[in-house]
Amino acid sequence: MARVQPERWANQTEYLLSCLGYAVGIGNLWRFPYLCYRNGGGAFLIPYFLTLIICGIPLVYLETTLGQFASAGCISVFNINPLFKGAGYAVIVLNVIAVIYFSAIMSYPVLYIYHSLGSPLPWQTCGNPWNTDKCTEITGNSSFFLSNGTITTPEDEFFHLRLLRVSSGISEIGSIVWPVFWCNVICWIIIYLCICNGVKSVGKIVYFTVVFPYVVLCALFVRGVTLPGAGKGILFYILPDWKQLMKPKVWVDAATQIFFSLGPGWGGLVSMASYNKFHYKNLRSSIIIPLVNSGTSVWAGFVVFSVLGFASERANVPVGQVATAGPGLAFVTYPATVTMMPAPNFWAVTFFVMLFFLGIDTMFVTIEAVITGLIDEFPRLRTRKRLITLLTCLALFGFSIICNTEGGLHVMELLDAHVAITCVPIVCALEIIAAVYTYGPRELSTDVMFMTGQPLARIWLVLWRYVLPFILLTITVYALKDATGMAGWCVAFVSVLCIPIHVVRQLLRSRGSVLDRFRENCRPNDQWGPADPDIRQEWIALKQKQKGDYALNNLCPSRI
């Protein structure tokens, strides 16, 4: 029985921009440049682009192919192998956890935009009620970036003491920080208004929210490279250290950055591709999205390090003491640099508006992946999609309030460091097993030919079958080495538990011997295939004409 036809993009530009908005996020700005300079500068680009070609692009192509062919979200796409459908539920849990802390991060730029409207900027000086005796302002010979516990900067104290009122540790959650809470409310109102009509509204909004950050990056790039000391920062960023390539961790960092920045295994790519027209040739866009994402990361590195070079020259310290990663770069180091520029209020507002739009696009697709996954699996909800969207946003907002507390930053750091390290590689591995091993390369190739009119090149099958499983295993092992504490391990595995639970449930509901139950549940069910009734009939007719070792079983091909 075919499912109800889903919504469609008005045109493929909307699809491409939505995927770019999803892939290109805050991590391109605050994580990649730091990884690049730490792992050999320009030499890091070799493992980075190599893993992009052999890992990133093939995973994006596989996910968009499966999502587009079945017009299915992250749960229903596993109709190709119902035994693994628990991976779809794991993705839902993963995205819920990610949204909990990411929405709080999005409230920070809103706060900074508000405080950037006043002059002077409130983080420029130490003479404020929230500053401590350790506060030290920037001077020409200051080494304040070497935070040794004896001094702090006005930017650091503004972020941690004034805005967040950070507690001493995660065990002290404390009370709600109301300015952060209300900014979180504003973010969720914007998000709901943008996604309440599904892809019809998201497809129009991304024309601005995706393009605008690139305009700002251009402006920041031009301003950055014209600052004194910019050349020193850029050289520090790109100067190759070839010895670093001999370290396995450099290669793992490159693969991990590619893997987690593009978003395979998170359900967003599958969800966005499910709204494509069935016969859309998705190979080209599956190459463009990773290339633009990686190109943006490299370009953002020039923007960031040109400004950090200027900061290091003004503070008279090496660039390495200025360079940081994560929230420290966006909300401490960059604001410190802005105060040294002419027209600091303008550049502060510009930077934080860009940061907001970089994050909001990712939020659109992440939440849409949750909603699409649930609606595809429970079609009765489709007629009430706007209500489901509202309830989902309200629930996710309620969960995110814990990150608006005084201990919220510690909760965010815990979740961000552990939430995806096991779930995402495992989900990608199960997608490969389901599509390439149990469904079979012959059937997959036939479906791709039927869908796009273009044959599936053998190189994709080689990468999916032999190369990617090894890379995914390596990423998982190295990522788990960084897991810390019982809380970290719980966060890492809470979503993965959905997979074995569903496997046990499916086997118990089946009949026959254990082996027969495994065989039955590893075959596509009668929901797998094109959603459009006419196209589905053509696909079934094609399957019936095929000769070989496969026959039609329950309206889907299965191994005899």
8 A C-beta contact, residue 32 and residue 262? no
Nearest to 279 by CA among 65, 523, 546: 65
Q: Say if residue 261 carries a ligand binding annotation.
A: yes
The whole-angstrom separation of Cα 153 and Cα 332 is 9
State whether residue 22 is helix, strand or coil. helix
Q: For residue 283, give both structure tokens.
A: 């190979």
The whole-angstrom separation of Cα 271 and Cα 66 is 10
Q: For residue 351, give both structure tokens.
A: 């930077």
8 A C-beta contact, residue 93 and residue 494? yes
Q: In whole angstroms, how far apart are CA 75 and each of 25, 82, 83, 218, 372?
A: 24, 10, 12, 39, 9
Q: Say if residue 293 carries a ligand binding annotation.
A: yes
State whether residue 353 is helix, strand or coil. helix
The whole-angstrom separation of Cα 342 and Cα 360 is 29
Q: Say if residue 483 carries a ligand binding annotation.
A: no
The whole-angstrom separation of Cα 542 and Cα 556 is 11
Q: In whole angstroms, how far apart are CA 98 and each of 92, 266, 396, 416, 500?
A: 10, 10, 10, 7, 22
Tell me how many degrees the CA angle 91-93-96 measures, rounded to the nearest 5.
110
Q: Say if residue 28 carries a ligand binding annotation.
A: yes
The whole-angstrom separation of Cα 129 and Cα 114 is 19
The whole-angstrom separation of Cα 427 and Cα 349 is 39
Q: Cα–chain-centroid distance for residue 525?
A: 30
41 dihedral zone (left: phi>0; alpha: psi -120 to 50; beta): left
Cβ-Cβ contacts under 8 Å for 475 (sequence gap 6 or more): 252, 255, 256, 259, 425
Q: In whole angstroms, how far apart are CA 462 and each of 48, 246, 456?
A: 20, 26, 11
8 A C-beta contact, residue 52 and residue 294? yes
Cβ-Cβ contacts under 8 Å for 213 (sequence gap 6 or more): 24, 354, 357, 358
Q: Cα–chain-centroid distance for residue 557?
A: 34
The whole-angstrom separation of Cα 353 and Cα 219 is 13
8 A C-beta contact, residue 454 and residue 384? no
Q: Cα–chain-centroid distance for residue 43?
A: 25
8 A C-beta contact, residue 422 and residue 480? yes
What are the backbone dihedrals phi and psi of residue 176, each rounded to the nearest 5 degrees, phi first? -70, 135
- Which parts are annotated binding residues? 21, 23-24, 28, 261, 293, 358, 361
Q: List binding-site positions for Na(+).
A: 21, 23-24, 28, 261, 293, 358, 361
